[in-house]
Amino acid sequence: MSTSSAPQLPQRAKRGPGLLIGIIAAVVVIAVIVVIAVVSNRSNGASAAGKTVSIGVADKAEPYWKTYQALAKKKLGVTVKLVNFTDYSLPNPALSQGQTDLNEFQHIQYLANYNVTNGDDLQPIGATAVYPLPLYSTKYSSASKIPEGAKVAIPNDAVNEARGLLILQSAGLLKLKDGGNAFSTSSDIVSHQVDVTPIDASQTAGALKAGSVAAAIVNQNYATTGGLSKSDAIFKDDPSSTSAAPYVNVFVAQKKDADNALYLKLAKLYHTASVEKGVQEANAGTAVFRSTSAADLQKELATVESDAKAASKS
């Protein structure tokens, strides 16, 4: 048999540089996919766990905030940094400028007034509580027993004057134009059984104790320092009523964060039993907790902002 007739084995393909490059490219692609998956998983976890959220407050020293911080860490894996403000005019600008992520110190009426005055659009994302504003008297046991023409003091600041008038209206002591709203003033009184006397909020308890007025609308802090007792409260607004809706205290966020899932969870965390217990202890049991949805709070804000704009034009 000649060499030329011998069967020929198939020739092995030579491993040139093209094949090697292809293998390297495939390995790189796989590595990239793995890295992306890992980073994605870490990113999703980092949306809550390990995150720090700053909240502007006006009462950082109250023990219930420590309870709240511990729960945020335990249940959500979030570190809550509290930023305390002693001047109420500062927390909203700080939030708007991104110095804090949320704040919790105000009710809807205050927020509406801020937004309209400053052209801002901060939004409520969770309700906390309503604090009833009582009508006090050391002489009369009910609003109906206050004699016609008697003097009744109310705070003269923009926020509390309107609320005080609405309370007196609910007590049957006066009537307001168009039923009144969160921006009514004494000039909106259309009929009255008592002589309404607006004075500085810090003087309301003193005027009552001195006997210069028959009754007075007094904020909780001034009632406490002024020596008024719970038994001296003869009437207060119904926290579930329409007129009390603007006075629901709220967690507030920038508009772009109004649907932030983590922030919504932090607002809900406030209603944990241990936190609510601390809130009551800090406020002499006066808090009436509310769990109004973010959507309903935002609708109420829009209504109150409309009232604020109308009031500024009148």
The DSSP annotation for 255-299 comes to GGGTT-HHHHHHHHHTTSHHHHHHHHHHTTT--EE----HHHHHH
The answer, yes or no, to whether residue 260 has pLDDT greater than 50, is yes
- The least confident of 14-23, 163-172, 238-247 is 14-23
pLDDT digits (tens, 9 = 90+) for 33-48: 434 443 433 333 345 6
**pLDDT confidence bin for 239, thresholds 50/70/90:** confident
The CATH architecture annotation of domain 134-236 reads 3-Layer(aba) Sandwich (3.40)
pLDDT given at position 284: 84
Q: What is the mean pLDDT of the chain?
A: 87
Mean pLDDT value of segment 82-95: 96
Closest residue by Cα to residue 84 from 65, 110, 108: 65
Closest residue by Cα to residue 107 from 126, 85, 84: 126
Which alpha helices (DSSP H) does 119-255 contain, by range? Answer: 158-170, 204-210, 220-225
Class of domain 52-131+245-313: alpha beta
For the purposes of burial, counting CB atoms within 10 Å of the CB of 150, is it exposed (0-12), middle (13-18) or buried (19 or more)? Answer: middle
The answer, yes or no, to whether residue 122 has pLDDT greater than 90, is yes
pLDDT digits (tens, 9 = 90+) for 51-79: 999 999 999 999 999 999 999 999 999 99
- List Cα–Cα distances, 39 to 25, 32, 42, 68, in angstroms: 21, 10, 5, 30
Residues 6+ away with beta carbon under 8 Å from 50: 77
Helix (H, G, I), strand (E, B) or coil at 185: coil
For the purposes of burial, counting CB atoms within 10 Å of the CB of 235, is it exposed (0-12), middle (13-18) or buried (19 or more)? Answer: buried
CA angle, 250 then 64 then 163, to 5°: 35
pLDDT given at position 7: 36
pLDDT digits (tens, 9 = 90+) for 17-32: 554 454 445 544 444 4
- pTM: predicted TM-score of the whole model, two decimal places: 0.78
Residues in the chain: 314
| 46 compared with 304, residue with greater pLDDT | 304
| 232 compared with 14, residue with greater pLDDT | 232
| End-to-end Cα distance, the chain | 119
Pinpoint the residues of the chain covered by CATH 3.40.190.10. 52-131+245-313, 134-236
- The least confident of 117-126, 219-228, 298-307 is 219-228
